[in-house]
Structure 1
Amino acid sequence: MITRAPAPGIREPREEAPRRGIARRLARATRALATPLLPDDYLALVNPLWSTRALRGRIVATRPVGHATTELTIRPGAGWAGHRPGQHLGIGVEIGGRRHWRTYSITSAPGDEHLTVSVTAVPDGSVSTFLARTAAPGELLTLGPAIGDFAPEHDGPLLALTGGSGITPILGHLAGGAGTATGADTVVVHSGRGERVHGDDLGRLAASRPRLRVHEHDSGSGRLRPADLDDLVPDWRERTVLVCGPAEMIDEFSAHVAEAGATCLVERFRPPEPVAEGTGGRVTFTASGIVAEADAVTPLLRAGEDAGALLPSGCRMGICHTCVGRLRSGAVLDLQTGELHIADDTTEADDAVVVRTCVSAAAGDCRLDL
């Protein structure tokens, strides 16, 4: 560090330094007032949670709820529109100078002052590991809106079949009143190995709620099977069945329930396995001018985010249609359906090809109006 002393024979006035500090502060204030910002931008400068344009949330507490799972308590900002039981939201975090999004089920009750979500650190998962092991009270997050329809349309008896962290959306239903004296008669069959996620919380709820029954199954002694339902919940065919857990469990139980003619709703933490692959290519996002090199199976959304593009997203599983954008030219492949979408510069606006970036991959070079 280099310091410069006043020239010999010249003494700097003692009050000069404070004056320079005041001048710098006035200059910064003047520049801020002259910048073309909206009123909402000024609010965000004072407190990011006051912004209604960019929804933010601040972590106010954390607690372990499993071997690798942490519950985050989040104070949402002014733009939060609330949620319904069983819904989830996107959470964005800045890691390495880039914003990454992941989706988590909301476990708190609608109308609560704070949101709660539970994050399990997965191997090689940079976002989940950061949120579950590093993020602390005071951390500022970007939030998406609450989305999802993992809830019955009508009141009535419920059966929740869950595995591992699949218990989290069901906790959202319980927080919303299921299993209380006035709520629907609810049975939870929860499967896990060893220490179960939110095991203590589930036990406390079962002990305090008259219309809630909980059966915990240790998968270390064998997998839970559809054939077990007749013994565990003899009237399961008369209930609305909610299933959330590993993909194999969801597929197995939802098929069994559907075959019996009962109502079944499923919640997947990951999209179904792709049925097709693109060819890869160069993807240009016209709004920002960012260009991403995408391989045959990486969704356009992730390729763009990895290249530094800020793109709209929601469930990231092709359900909510938040991430849609117009295909300006080129071709992309829907990884879930195998449908090829093609457009060129002559495509009229009325015939615009709209694609879901979270479940579509490049099939050659393409440009998107995002």
Structure 2
Amino acid sequence: MIAGVLGRAARVVATPLLPDDYLALVNPLWSARHPRGRIVATRPVGPATTELTIRTGAGWQGHRPGQHVGLGVDIAGRRHWRTYSITSAPGADELTVSVTAVPDGSVSVHLARVAKVGDLVGLGPATGEWTATGPLLLVSGGSGVTPVLGLLRGGTVDDAVVVHSGRGTRLHAPELHRLAGASAATGERIVGNGSLRVLEHDSTAGRLRPADLDVLVPDWRSRTMLVCGPEAMIEAFSAHAAEAGVPSVVERFRPPTPVTTGGTGGTVTFTTSGVVAQADAATPLLRAGEDAGALLPSGCRMGICHTCVGRLSAGAVRNLQTGETESAQDGDVVVRTCVSAAAGDCRIDL
């Protein structure tokens, strides 16, 4: 035991550390280089959903209403990152997110059912632009209500109609009712010069359809539509908005289905960390590196925030969103590792 303690101390002395690293050794929340948070409360808000309250550390730069954050957790000795909508108001002392346990989802199951008060989580930067000005129509399904809650708690919305669809017990229903100034499922509250109305749809009686808006929200064509929920809902309502000439903003919990046609995969070398990974044509470079044990920068994991970028020093990669290929021979190529896959053997400076 003594030998182990001395060995760890020797490694610390022999490793070039910055002042921030020494602060993190005393208290992980003091690190500005590697933002972290500590879970201070957990609360069930649905059959498979838990709200986590997180005390943020020195590196957290805050967020705007409607944004999301990457949470990093260590499972079986490896760091995994997933992105969740922020439900707390900007400037609050603590951050809240709601995590729904997804079947076969190791990270979501860990956060929703295993994580406990006192656990540390990594924090990526807040990203996303799920917001708009003027009269709003917020359409959500299932756990898609979480960014709705974050937007409403942010205090920047003064004229909105929320149409939320879910099965049986709907997530955050009491909070939505409170914000709407009602104890029943439908309520209205005057906010400034506008109003907030919450309309709930029980999907066990049938799927919410875009055509239902004419009855539920007769003035929906005069509002900007924000949609978050299952992919089918997003596609249907955003297409309906486009046909009517109504501006819309969508929020997805996961990236679009990757374009894998013509991919090859290959050996990926992360030059800075010295990790070598084998990746197929559909696996993002970020995930391949993490699975091989590399600690790589990441944030939204959907190609939005550009936190995960690294320079392509050799070989070629393919964008999983567009199918386009980029080669190191093209010049100074910076790769978003969360939405890029190997197109043969390649080297990334991370």
TM-score of the superposed pair, with normalisation by structure 2: 0.91
Aligned to 1:15: none
Q: Displacement, 1:320?
A: 1.9
The code of the aligned residue for 2:146 comes to: T
**Corresponding residue of 1:190:** 164
Deviations 1:260-308 (A, max 9, x none): 1111110011111123342111111111111111112111111111001
Residue identity matched to 1:252: A
Alignment partner of 2:181 out of 198, 207, 216: 207
2:71 to 91, 102, 116: 91
Three-state SS of the structure 1 residue aligned to 2:181 is: helix
For 1:90 and 1:365, locate their aligned partners in 2 and report how far apart those are by CA, in whole Å: 29
Shift of 1:358: 1.1
Aligned ranges 1:245-260 → 2 under 5 Å: 245-260=229-244
Which of 336, 340, 344 is residue 321 of structure 2 equivalent to? 336
Please show how residues 1-370 of structure 1 align to structure 2 within 5 Å.
36-152=16-132, 154=133, 156-178=134-156, 183-207=157-181, 209-210=189-190, 211-277=195-261, 278-344=263-329, 351-370=331-350
Compute the displacement of 1:200 (Å): 2.2
Identity of aligned residues (%): 73
User: For the aligned residues, what is the CA RMSD?
Assistant: 2.1
> Would the aligned equivalents of 1:276 and 1:337 in 2 still touch at CA under 8 Å?
no
How many residues are matched?
337
- Give the conservation status (yes or no) of the 8 Å contact 2:298–2:308: yes
Distance 1:212 1:99, change over 3 A: same
Is the 1:283–1:293 contact (alpha carbons within 8 Å) kept by the matching residues of 2?
yes
Specify the SS of the correspondent of 1:207: coil
Q: Secondary structure at the match of 2:176?
A: helix
Q: How many angstroms does 1:39 deviate by?
A: 2.1
The whole-number CA distance in structure 2 between the counterparts of 1:114 and 1:136 is: 16
- With over 3 angstroms needed to count, the CA separation of the structure-2 counterparts of 1:29 and 1:337, relative to structure 1, is closer
Structure 1 CA distance, aligned partners of 2:8 and 2:127?
Answer: 41
Unaligned runs of at least 5 residues, structure 1: 1-20
Q: What TM-score comes out, normalization by structure 1 length?
A: 0.86
Task: Answer yes or no: is the 8 Å Cα contact 1:271–1:317 preserved in 2.
Answer: yes
Identify if the C-alpha distance between structure 1 residues 334 and 193 changes in structure 2 by more than 3 Å, giving closer, same or farther: same
The equivalent residue for 1:17 is: none
Superposed CA offset, 1:145-191 (max 9, x none) = 11111111x3x11110000000001101111115xxxx411110000
Give the Å deviation of 1:33: 7.0
Residue 36 of structure 1 and its aligned partner are, at CA, apart by 4.2
Structure 2: distance between partners of 1:358 and 1:45: 29
Aligned-partner SS, 1:273: coil
| Cα separation, 2, equivalents of 1:31 and 1:324 | 29
- Separation (CA, whole Å) in 2 of partners of 1:53 and 1:108: 23
Amino acid at match of 1:175: R
Over 3 Å counting, the alpha-carbon distance change for 1:240 and 1:316 in structure 2 is: same
Question: Does structure 2 conserve the Cα–Cα contact (< 8 Å) formed by 1:276 and 1:336?
Answer: no
Distance 1:83 1:331, change over 3 A: same
Q: Deviations over 1:51-95 (max 9, x none)?
A: 111101000000000110000000000111110000001000010
Shift of 1:37: 3.0
CA contact 1:275–1:337 (8 Å) conserved in 2: yes
Structure 2 CA distance for aligned equivalents of residues 27 and 306 of structure 1: 27
Partners of 2:260 and 2:281 within 8 A in 1: no
Which stretch of structure 1 is more off in the superposition, 352-361 or 104-113? 352-361
Letter in 2 for 1:212: L
